[in-house]
Structure 1
Amino acid sequence: MHWNQTYAPLGDIFSSALVAAIPIVVLLGLLAFLHVRAHWAAIAGLLSAMVIAILIFGMPTALAGTAALYGAGFGLFPIGWIVLNAIFIYDISVKTGHFETVKHSIAGLAADRRLQLLLIAFSFGAFIEGAAGFGTPVAISGAMLIGLGFRPLQAAGLALIGNTAPVAFGALGTPIITLSAVTGLPLYDLSAMVGRQLPFFSIIVPFWLVAAMAGWRGMREVWP
């Protein structure tokens, strides 16, 4: 079935974008404000997206259902499979005590908490992002930071900031592979362009990360 999407079904791009954002608002609103369980919030977001796609954007019902099934399948394989294996390896390392060894080895490289933050949230988090992605590096890096004495909310926020730069190549390059499949653009050209952009973010993010924790004065104190 062939269908050409209309990007401004309401006549202007701004109002159409606001309507298209409703599923995201539904999902995040249910999670953040109504404290609905994640799977129910996801289902509500999916249903609202399908209703808007069919009624507002004119997407055929059969095609909307097929797209939902395809998205669910793609979420399970490869995304779910990658995350499952990452959690499996993490649990094994915790049970065997090797996770503590890794944590103390990284922390032992520097006594300064600002440098520990860079090593764990930025450097180690980038490694986990490339291997697993999809939130796994934030969870693991955050757990390591909490183990070193960081407050839970602070650890989560700093881990999210540290995970800003490497996400483009996360999960074995899944975002770029997906972008290539959706847009039809050459995979290697997209990879090369992302590779040209990320060095700038990789320089900015460490300074931003330390400044978010210790302020600009604290950041200047650990200036290379």
Structure 2
Amino acid sequence: MLYQFAQIPIEKHLAYDSDMDFIEGYDYGYYQAMGAAMPWIPWYSLMQEGSQQGDYTYHTKILKPETDYLLYAYGVEFDTSDTENPVSVITPLIKYPFTTPAWKATSNCTFDISIESQQINPEGYNVINVKIVPSDNNERYYVAFPTQETLATTYANDIYDYAFDAVYNEEIYSGVTDWATSEFLTSGEAVVTSLQFGWNINPGAEYKILVFGVDGDGLVTTEIATVDCTSITE
């Protein structure tokens, strides 16, 4: 039997009146959106390709602390010759809700941060050079350069929420699959530049630079160290 399996924040399921409404609205909608981007492949063929069969082990990750999630699965059959009703749901929606525990540091490493220098490159972007001195040279750490406006408007100034998203976004958009060897992490005393990791800094903007440890599984391990910085204009 083929089946669909996924992990979602539970509010995505709660937005629908019934399990079938959820399957047709959320899951079908997901594959229909993929099909719209690749119109030469029918959406139900993409769904069939994305189905599991037999035993399957799923390693849950990219989860935010103290958040309600849902694992779900349901059986499906496909009739690609019937373009009006190509998918049949043949089992109930099996649901497993769970809540992630509160985050806590697993490393005692701390970071001393200072602004080493700034300059504006020929493209008009400011480059911020940050000196970082960790208390443990074995700790691998990530450096982020968000604007204070982004932290305030998108994250309600929750720098930990931002840090969890930063790791998630590197996995989704930068293709990081192994944090143990990722070049997005640094170790030991270093001067890290914003340009080094692709951060575009606008002149005259206010930034809060974040430094935090990340382990091989992409989990934030340390308390976050910060330093505020206003980028130069000339």
- Report the TM-score when normalising by structure 1: 0.28
Query: Per residue, is there more helix in 1 or in 2?
Result: 1
Structure number, greater radius of gyration:
2
Query: Per residue, is there more strand in 1 or in 2?
Result: 2
- Report the TM-score when normalising by structure 2: 0.27
